[in-house]
Chains A and B, each alone.
Chain A
Amino acid sequence: MMRILAIGLKDVRVTVRDKPALGILLGMPMVLIFILGSALGGIGKGGAGRVPIAVVALDRGEAGTRIAEAFESTELEDVFEAHRFVTEAAARRAVERGDLAAALVIPERFSDDLTAGSGVSLRVWADPGREVAAGIVRAVAESLATRVSAVAVAAQVTGEAVGRSGLSRDPRVAMAAARSAADELGRADGLARVRVAEAKARLQHKMTTLDYYAGGMSVMFLLFGSMFGAFSLVEERTGGTLARLLAGPVSRVQALAGKTLGVFVVGVVQALTLYGFTRLLGVAWGPDVLALGLIGFSTIVAVTGMALMLSTLAKSVRGVGAIAPLVIQVQAAAGGSFFPVSALPEWLRPVHYLTVNGWALDGILAVMRGAGVAEVWPKALALLGLGALFFAIGVWRLETS
């Protein structure tokens, strides 16, 4: 155990003295978070492009169908990217995952209740971190609801007028009915029969762009930690120090455990430093520190496994230096560090589940939105699984090379 600790601490010391490495691991994310947060802080996530939403039409009546179809219509296709969901629960999960900005739910018997004149409401599950996008959904839903409500009221009043007159085929009756309807439309309570009830589920925290990029950049630069970990492993191999270790009473397992510990500790120091810095900038990492710690720990484990795997992809530091940034940047792009995953084409989005970046950022954003350990443990498990997979690939390649 003493040897493992000594190897790990030696690696931390070597990394601390490597100024270019420190610049990339700590300096660059700090600068990028600051710049991106400052430049985009007021825009809010999802402020540009089509808004990805869920439409859950539990009502099969005319009014409900009309509202659902309106969100999918060509008039609104530049604004919304509507996805039909069968159940409200599934749509809500998608919003909580951050896949969608909001979910519009048209409840059962919406049309019937509307026609009957009883109070009805549409529900919107909104991501608090995408206020602008969710606001657009709310505004359009309110507008549509108002229109549908007005038509329903007009029809109801018209029917009543026709009934009272007994002249159902007389055009004047229709005129009278229309006038009555118009009068009715002018009454506020008539328009209020359909309400848009907004719900925020368990996601109470309002996330800013600064928060988003603090998470995104931190995860991406934690991944860069794997590159420097891989450099350290390759340098140990090519510089003869690994052979010297193994020629002494140090086993392969001890050497590997020590190196792994070094990468892990560097990752922890990096994560804590970035956390402290971003807290000073006002980034809110969510109320559940334990959940954040769980995601952070799992991410660093995955990064450590990745370091070992990357170190086996090339024989020299230069070789790893050519491969690792590519692997990391692709993961960062697909995993949401540069822009929300929802901005990607739909067919490309599942790729983020194959990346450390994707799971880590999903977890961090969920914690920022208020999720706790009970919600994020599957993401932590996925990260640990990826870490174990990378580690196994690394060990296998070391054994066979």
Chain B
Amino acid sequence: MADIIEVRDLVKRYGENVAVDGVTFSIQEGETFGLLGPNGAGKTTIISVVCCLLAPNGGDVFVDGASVRTDPQRVKRSLGVVPQDIALYPTLTALENLRFWGRMYGLSGKTLDARVGEALEVAGLTDRAKERIEAYSGGMKRRVNIAAGMLHHPRVLLMDEPTVGIDPQSRNHILETVRRLAEAGTTVVYTSHYMEEVEAICDRVAIVDHGKVIGQGTVAELQQLIGDENAIMLRVEEVPDETLASLRAVPGVDRVTFADGALEVLARDTAAVLSPVVSALDASGARASSIDIVEPNLETVFLHLTGKSLRD
């Protein structure tokens, strides 16, 4: 398949702060592509450049061959955008909001009516379409937020953290919507710091940290980066620096991180290192409330690549 989005050496600076630092990746048509990284990694900035809200300081982005620098209007015509914030008018009903956003994309008459009806159905809100958005739950608002971005059947749908702060039921609904869009041939660019979501719906993933892509490929390809390395995950209230140093000194331990009460120890043979790790913790007086051994996933990949947790 042909590339529908090509990001080349993209640089975006805010004064002295480099938010995006030479990012390069491409996305094929019909693909569901994940941008995974912690908050502040640069994901939203990349999306903002792709949808022409921010001008790049270096490099370029092409959408269906059109450059964001030279032909932003053509770029925007190919895109649908689901922003991280709920960008809707709270005192208008879902129906009124969707009709408004449909008009912004040039829809009118029967086509507009049909698309709004279809979007409400996808959002599962047909029977509550005439209620004001302000009366909706967070999850329902998110669903309308997504529906507003897909009214015009865009070739590419950019979804920026679409599941932040919602209940599991709405999250599942949204993930299911993304799957259906992908089945219908829509290219989806999905940013998140929830590795489970990205693993569940994305064909390929770029891991972003400090404005750089530090790894990209399919989930399986990324997992191969850490080979057969597993993680021992422990819940511990406090771990002194000396204890972290002694854990790192345990033979067979590749990497140790601690943040927000979560101690993560990467090792190829977790069974072999488990006992000395627990002993070292005991010696320091730290008590683990839970211990899990986790097989390679995007979380451990991120840990392997950056030395820190996605939650950091």
Binding site for B on A (CB under 8 A): 2-3, 6, 10, 13-14, 17-18, 239-241, 243-251
**Nearest-CB distance from B84 to chain A (Å)?**
8
Contact across chains for A243 and B87 when beta carbons are under 8 A apart = yes
Q: Inside 8 A of A249's CB, which chain B residues have their CB?
A: 73, 76-77, 104-106
Please list 27 pairs of residues, one from A and one from B, whose beta carbons are closer than 8 Å in the complex, sorted by A's number: A2-B103, A3-B103, A3-B104, A6-B100, A10-B100, A14-B91, A14-B92, A17-B91, A239-B85, A239-B87, A240-B83, A240-B84, A240-B86, A240-B87, A241-B87, A241-B88, A243-B48, A243-B53, A244-B148, A245-B104, A247-B81, A247-B83, A248-B105, A249-B73, A249-B76, A249-B105, A251-B73
**Nearest-CB distance from A265 to chain B (Å)?**
16
B122 at interface by CB-CB < 8 Å: no
Q: Which 3 A-B pairs have the closest CB atoms?
A: A240-B85, A240-B87, A244-B87
**Nearest-CB distance from A7 to chain B (Å)?**
8
Query: How far apart are the CA atoms of A239 and B87 in the complex, in Å?
Result: 6
Query: How far apart are the CA atoms of A248 and B77 in the complex, in Å?
Result: 7
**Nearest-CB distance from B33 to chain A (Å)?**
18
Q: Inside 8 A of B92's CB, which chain A residues have their CB?
A: 10, 13-14, 17
Known: A247-B81, A248-B104. A18 touches B76 (CB 8 A): no
Query: How far apart are the CA atoms of A6 and B86 in the complex, in Å?
Result: 20
Q: Inside 8 A of B100's CB, which chain A residues have their CB?
A: 6, 10
Other than the known A247-B76, A249-B73, A249-B105, what 10 A-B pairs have Cβ atoms closer than 8 Å? A2-B103, A2-B106, A6-B104, A17-B92, A240-B83, A247-B51, A247-B79, A248-B104, A249-B104, A249-B106
B137 at interface by CB-CB < 8 Å: no
Q: Inside 8 A of B195's CB, which chain A residues have their CB?
A: none
Interface string of B70-105 (1 = CB under 8 A from A): 000100110101011111110110001000110111
- Number of A-B residue pairs, CB cutoff 8 Å, is 63
Query: How far apart are the CA atoms of A249 and B77 in the complex, in Å?
Result: 6
Interface string of B127-168 (1 = CB under 8 A from A): 000000000000000000000100000000000000000000
Interface residues of A: mostly helix, strand, loop or mixed?
helix
Which A-chain residue is minimally distant from B74 (CB atoms)? Answer: A249
Residues B6-33 near A (CB distance < 8 A)? none
Query: How far apart are the CA atoms of A244 and B91 in the complex, in Å?
Result: 17
Q: Inside 8 A of B83's CB, which chain A residues have their CB?
A: 240, 243-244, 247
**Nearest-CB distance from B111 to chain A (Å)?**
13
**Nearest-CB distance from A394 to chain B (Å)?**
20
Q: Inside 8 A of A247's CB, which chain B residues have their CB?
A: 51-53, 76, 79, 81, 83
Query: How far apart are the CA atoms of A190 and B87 in the complex, in Å?
Result: 85
Query: How far apart are the CA atoms of A10 and B90 in the complex, in Å?
Result: 12
Q: Inside 8 A of A14's CB, which chain B residues have their CB?
A: 89, 91-92
B108 at interface by CB-CB < 8 Å: yes
Q: Inside 8 A of A248's CB, which chain B residues have their CB?
A: 76, 79, 81, 101, 104-105
Query: How far apart are the CA atoms of A6 and B91 in the complex, in Å?
Result: 16
**Nearest-CB distance from A127 to chain B (Å)?**
46
Q: Inside 8 A of A3's CB, which chain B residues have their CB?
A: 103-104
Q: Inside 8 A of A251's CB, which chain B residues have their CB?
A: 73
Question: Which of A239, A244, A251 has the largest count of B CB atoms less than 10 A from its CB?
Answer: A244
Query: How far apart are the CA atoms of A250 and B86 in the complex, in Å?
Result: 19
Contact across chains for B91 and A10 when beta carbons are under 8 A apart = no
Question: Which of B84, B89, B100, B104 has the largest count of A CB atoms less than 10 A from its CB?
Answer: B104
**Nearest-CB distance from A252 to chain B (Å)?**
11
Q: Inside 8 A of A239's CB, which chain B residues have their CB?
A: 85, 87
Query: How far apart are the CA atoms of A43 and B242 in the complex, in Å?
Result: 87
Contact across chains for B89 and A10 when beta carbons are under 8 A apart = yes
Contact across chains for A246 and B53 when beta carbons are under 8 A apart = yes
Question: Which of A2, A247, A249 has the largest count of B CB atoms less than 10 A from its CB?
Answer: A247
Query: How far apart are the CA atoms of A251 and B77 in the complex, in Å?
Result: 12
Q: Inside 8 A of B48's CB, which chain A residues have their CB?
A: 243
Contact across chains for B76 and A6 when beta carbons are under 8 A apart = no
Contact across chains for B73 and A244 when beta carbons are under 8 A apart = no
